[in-house]
Amino acid sequence: MLQTTDTHASTGYRLGQSIRILHITQSPDDFRLVKETLIAGERHVAFVLIHADLFSKALEQIARTSFDLFLLDLNLPDCSVLEAIPLLGKTHPSRPVIVLVGRDELHLGLQAIQAGAADYLNRNRIDPGQLNHTLCAAIERRRQNLELRERNSELEILYNLSTLLVSTLDRETLFAGILKTLTALPQLAVQARGLFFLVEEDRLRLAGHLGHIEPSPACHKNLKIGDCLCGRVAKTGALLISDNCRSDPRHTIQAEELHGHIIIPLSGHGGVVGVLCLYTATGVRLSEENSRMLRTAGQLIGMAIDNVRLFEEETLHANCDALTGLINRRCLAMSLEKSIALAKRFNRPLSALMIDIDHFKKFNDTCGHLEGDSLLLKVANFISHEIRGMDVAARFGGEEFLVLLPETNLSEAESIAERIRQVVASGAEVTISLGVSCYSPEDGDGNDLLQHADTALYRAKINGRNRVEVYGDTPFFTKV
């Protein structure tokens, strides 16, 4: 056996690396012939040749050690070579098998290739150059096939990820799908948990997580750019691998259990827009192929985040009043339709407040339109502050506002309206009038609810303003 120090041009095996070959033959003479031929012919690769005289013994050796290539004699006493080839394919997938045949058995060599062998050789006409070339060529084909398989796998992952990224513009659905997709990849050897951060000014905001229970995500909610591993990646824009959270000095957040990390920068048009943190067992390494794939995935995800933000900005502009930030009439119509449907289906109360600023035209004429705009914003803020997160406030037009109050009966809505009236009267330069109505099954649709609130508002106006009026079956009454 010849050991060399250079690299073989075709196989890619380097400095001191050897190709381990298991020669399965019952003939000691054939084994000796192959061994001597390899010694005579090798110039650039170190071969290690191991002998097994039975296929059953070969399987025992395969269970104990790994081989790069198998040489099979056509005539094995305990197994047909056409049965042995697929069995070897199961135990050592993608390892090439080369069959040695006699001069009268060349047709069986073709059958062996059909069964999965990489090649066959005529043992009666074997020479050092041919044997060396055949073995090295088989190893190189295997290397190229593995590389192609890995590249195809990488492209499939990126294709599936790209399909996910264009399937939704809802950020919660998108972030959850990304975490589930990447944590499910077997080649990454990551755990089924992860953290998703968005860059916002000088901080990282935790935008999503998978497989965590509190308080683990809680300690990540106030990260600055540069802090711990995720902050460092947000600052540098470089993929980071940490194989041990306790021994890595860059990992400054204390962890209860031992783990490693793969931290992926998410790069958008303006730089790093987010960070994806995956968890691994300790000691996990990442191949260059997988590193390249994750860097590309980070770029795709970063562009998807840009698209989501752009969509959200456009949606906000389309659905919100530019001055007050409340939803506009268009968005109100959709919210009203949904609220009416829920109230009908589950027989739950739904109330509405129609609000108008008293003498707003006079204020505008006296103080100017800029002050008028400031007043509209102030009143809108008062309204937003006094209602719940489930409620819907809209600028209905001009100096009018509308509030939808799900799960709120007429009496409760009246109390809310009175509270808003008092807050505006004490905190703004003007007063407001409010009309209150509650949806009834006898009402046709949402327009009836709004019409009734508007009728109550009109009554508040003619009764002197700065008051709440309630629409109902009984005559109107006044709240001062």
| Predicted pLDDT of residue 104 | 81
Residue 216 within any structural domain of the chain: yes
Q: Are residues 96 and 184 in the same domain?
A: no
Tokens 């009246």 -> residue: 414
Q: Are residues 341 and 273 in the same domain?
A: no
Task: Identify the domain containing residue 231 by its residue range.
Answer: 171-311
pLDDT in tens, the chain (480 residues): 333 323 333 334 443 468 899 999 998 988 998 888 888 865 567 889 999 999 999 999 998 888 999 999 888 889 988 899 999 888 887 889 999 988 788 888 889 999 999 999 988 888 888 888 888 888 888 888 888 887 888 888 888 889 989 888 888 889 888 988 888 888 888 888 888 999 998 899 988 888 865 555 667 777 889 989 999 999 999 999 998 888 888 888 877 788 889 999 999 988 999 999 999 988 888 888 889 999 999 999 999 999 999 998 888 888 899 899 999 998 999 999 999 999 988 899 999 999 999 999 999 999 999 999 999 999 999 999 999 999 999 999 999 999 999 999 999 999 999 999 999 999 999 999 999 999 987 777 889 999 999 999 999 999 999 999 999 744 544 444
Angle, CA 347 vertex, CA 345 and CA 352 arms, to 5°: 100
Q: Are residues 394 and 446 in the same domain?
A: yes
Distance CA 316, CA 338 (A): 19
312 a catalytic residue: no
| Predicted pLDDT of residue 239 | 95
Q: Are residues 125 and 203 in the same domain?
A: no
| Predicted pLDDT of residue 367 | 94
Q: Are strands 350-357 and 223-224 parallel, antiparallel or unpaired?
A: unpaired
Q: What tokens were used for 392? A: 């819907």
Catalytic residue among 105, 154, 386, 399: 399
Q: Are residues 307 and 335 in the same domain?
A: no
Residue 3 within any structural domain of the chain: no
Produce one character per residue of 246-279: b if its CB has 16 or more CB atoms within 10 Å, e if not.
eebeebeeeeeeebbbbbbbbbbeeebbbbbbbb
CATH assignment at residue 75: 3.40.50.2300
Q: Are 438 and 349 in contact (CB under 8 A)?
A: yes
Q: Are residues 179 and 302 in the same domain?
A: yes
How many separate domains does the chain show?
Answer: 3
CATH assignment at residue 262: 3.30.450.40
pTM over cut 0.75: no
| Predicted pLDDT of residue 15 | 38
| Predicted pLDDT of residue 427 | 94
Residue 349 within any structural domain of the chain: yes
CATH assignment at residue 370: 3.30.70.270
Q: Are residues 238 and 296 in the same domain?
A: yes
Helix (H) or strand (E) holding 405: strand 400-406
